[in-house]
Structure 1
Amino acid sequence: MDFDFYLPTHIISGAECVRGGGAVFSSLGRKCLIVTGKSSAKACGALDDCTAVLDEQGIAYRVFDGIGQNPLVSSCEAAGKLAREFGAEFLIGIGGGSPLDATKAIAFFACNDLHGVDIYGDLPKNALPMVLIGTTAGTGSEVTPYSVLTVDETGRKRSFRDKHGLSYASYVFSDPKYTASLPYDFTISTALDALCHALEGYFASNATDISDMFATRGIDVIVQALENIKNKPKEEILMSDREMLLYGSLYAGVTINTTGTGFCHPLGYFLTEEYQVPHGQACAVFLRDYLREAKEHLSDKYEALFGTLGYSGNKVLALIGELLDVDLPVLSENTLKEVAQRGAPTGNFLHSPGVFTEEKAFALLKKIFNLL
């Protein structure tokens, strides 16, 4: 048995938890920078709730709303400069994975003489504390130290984490009501991302008893909620299902906090970078094959999971197929070979079921993109 576990983040959940969080914000300082995208934090009500509490507590703030999807390193550096000039003592990130991941980088840019890809180097032990408020149900970024950013010069995604633990949030607020404004397609894509996290983590070679416990619960509630909401218009999705998806994404996030992700993620990145496929859908393109690899190489663990859940792996395979909505581009063998080469040096391949090599990735890509 392996009981190793580390998560230094205080999670506060439930209806109106942000409005009741004045003492938390006050404990972190008297000035903060709020990091958001252009509109989602406002549309879902999270930004208004947050600023109302800050006003009640007499905390000065500024808003940086320049974070786009797949956030650029340069945007994070610009926000860090603003935080430094304002004298911010802490950060509040509001949004889905993009603003939350960006906030982690901004915490370091605000306190240190860093520029561009310095964020991927040996970081100083100095960063602003963070509060993260999730408004989607997929990324799990609230409860991990990982930040995935787009490098301006290459247009490619690259992740970092701080080895000292400073890229973890100090506090997380999780209120399902903030996910209610998400359109159906976005709800499905983010939920597929969470399902990828839970399944990739469960079958990772570095999984532990603790991560398996969170993964199993995450898979269960995400699958239940996806079955409930598939093909429903946004207005008919129940808050109880949105709650399941949000907390399912946190279970999955806690899982990958220990394990990281498997091969679905690095293989999916290029679909988002080059063809604007939403991240969750891009990763889910490879999820059924990840499950097939798990069944082949980890058959006992595979059977144990679905025995516990009370349904077969085929049910999950079919559900993924129903929810996938990706028009795969026509690609050459050389392009697919480059994708495989890019993923090969990562821990994602190393920790995937079996011996997942560059050659195996290339063969899988050719199968999926109909080049076999």
Structure 2
Amino acid sequence: MNFDFYLPTHVISGTGCVRNGGAVFSSLGRKCLIVTGKNSAKACGALDDCTAVLDEQGIAYQVFDGIGQNPLLSSCETAGQVAREFGAEFLIGIGGGSPLDATKAIAFFACNDLHGTDIYGDLPKNALPMVLIGTTAGTGSEVTPYSVLTIDETGRKRSFRDKHGLSYASYVFSDPNYTASLSYDFTVSTALDALCHAIEGYFASTATDISDLFATRGIAVIVKALESIKGKADGAEITMRERELLLYGSLYAGVTINTTGTGFCHPLGYFLTEEYQVPHGQACAIFLRGYLDEAKEHLCEKYAALFSTLGYGDSTVSTLIGELLNVKLPSLTEEQLREVAQRSAPTANFLHSPGVFTEEKAFELLKKVFQA
């Protein structure tokens, strides 16, 4: 048995949690930079709730809304400079995975003489404290130290984490109401990302007894919610109970990968997002049935135990994934697929995956997916 576990983040959840629990903001400082994308933080009500609490506490703030999808390193560095010039003492990140991941990098750029890819080096033990407020149900970024950013010069994604624990949020606020305005397609894509996290984490070589508890619960909750919302083409048809299940399912999955990291679905999916604008969750889920096949072959007892606990067969999950995938795959040559396998292989994600997942195995899986 393995009981290893570490998560130095205080999660505050439920309807109205920012208004009701935002008193903790004042413990972090008197000046704050709020990091968001262009629209979602305002549209869902999270930004207004946040600024109302800051006003009540007399905390000065400035909003930086320059974070786009697949956040650029340059945007994070610019925001760090804005925070430094404003004299921010803490950060609040509001949004889906992009603003939350960006906030983690901005925390370091704001306090240190770092530029561009310096963020991937040996980081100083100095960063602004963060509050993260999620507005989607999928990434789990709120409760992990990981930040996936896009390098401007190459257009490639690369993740970082700080070994001192400073890329964890001090506080996380999770209110299902903030996800209510999400479209059906966006809701499904982010939920598939969460399902990938839970399944990849459960079968990871780095899994522990604690992470398995969170993963099993996450899979059960996410599958239940996805089965329920399947076919509701209008996001307005999705009930608040279903959105609550998806949000908390994504947090269970996030806590899982906080311990385990992700498997090969994530690096294999990056190129689809980088080059073909496939939503991240859909891009990763394309490879999830292949991941389950590897788990069934190499971790057969654990595989059987999971579905015994869930109370349904593996075909239920595989069928659900197939029904929810909505991606027109590009036509790729074997040479192109080989290049994808080569650039995806030198990652810890392959080592975390069931069995011995190699570049050659990645190439065979890519051929199976793209040349079916």
- What TM bracket, shorter-length normalisation? over 0.9
Q: TM-score, normalised by structure 1?
A: 0.99
Deviation at 1:21, TM superposition (A): 2.4
> How much is the aligned-residue C-alpha RMSD, in angstroms?
0.6
CA offset digits 1:233-258 (Å, max 9, x no partner)? 21111100100000000000000000
Matched residue SS, 2:32: strand
Cross-structure match for 1:300: 301
Deviations 1:324-358 (A, max 9, x none): 00000001112111111112111100110111000
Write the distance in 1 (CA, Å) between the matches of 2:194 and 2:269. 14
Matches for 1:89-108 after TM superposition, within 5 Å? 89-108=89-108
User: Is this contact kept in 2: 1:102–1:147, CA < 8 A?
Assistant: yes
Q: Show the counterpart of 1:31.
A: 31
- State how 1:345-360 maps to structure 2 within 5 Å: 345-360=346-361
Question: Which aligned runs of 4 or more in structure 1 are off by greater than 3 angstroms?
Answer: none
Q: 2:66 is matched with which residue?
A: 66
Aligned twin of 1:236: 237
How big is the shift at 1:180?
A: 0.2
Equivalences, count? 371
Q: Is the 8 A contact 2:23 2:53 kept in 1?
A: no
What's 1:14 paired with? 14
Q: Is the 8 A contact 1:22 1:57 kept in 2?
A: no
Residue 123 of structure 1 pairs with residue 123 of structure 2: yes
Give 1:103 shift.
0.0
Q: CA deviation at 1:206?
A: 1.0
Give the match's secondary structure for 2:114.
Answer: coil
Asked if the contact 2:183–2:236 (Cα under 8 Å) also holds between the matched residues in 1, the reply is no
For structure 1, the residue ranges without an aligned partner over 5 or more in a row are: none
* Residue in 2 that maps onto 1:142: 142
Q: Which residue of 1 aligns with 2:185?
A: 185
Distance 1:235 1:350 in 2: 41
Q: Which amino acid aligns with 1:54?
A: L
Matched, 1:324 2:325: yes
Q: Could you tell me which residue of structure 1 aligns to residue 363 of structure 2?
A: 362
Distance (whole Å) between structure 1 residues aligned to residue 305 and residue 246 of structure 2:
23
Match of 1:156 in 2: 156
CA distance in 2 between partners of 1:328 and 1:319 (Å):
19
Matches within 5 A, 1:219-234: 219-232=219-232, 233-234=234-235
Which secondary structure state, in structure 2, belongs to the residue aligned with residue 18 of structure 1?
Answer: helix
Q: Distance in 2 between matches of 1:101 and 1:81?
A: 17
* Mapped contact 1:140–1:253 kept (Cα < 8 A): yes
TM-score (norm 2): 0.99
Mapped partners of 1:334, 1:60: distance in 2: 54
CA contact (8 A) 2:33 2:64 kept: yes
> Any residues of structure 2 matched to 1:156-175 within 5 Å, and which?
156-175=156-175
Percent sequence identity over aligned pairs = 85
Tell me whether 1:338 sits opposite 2:339 in the alignment.
yes
Deviation of residue 22 (structure 1)?
A: 3.2
Q: Which amino acid aligns with 1:242?
A: R
Give the structure 2 partner of residue 264 of structure 1.
265
Q: Is the 8 A contact 1:21 1:53 kept in 2?
A: no
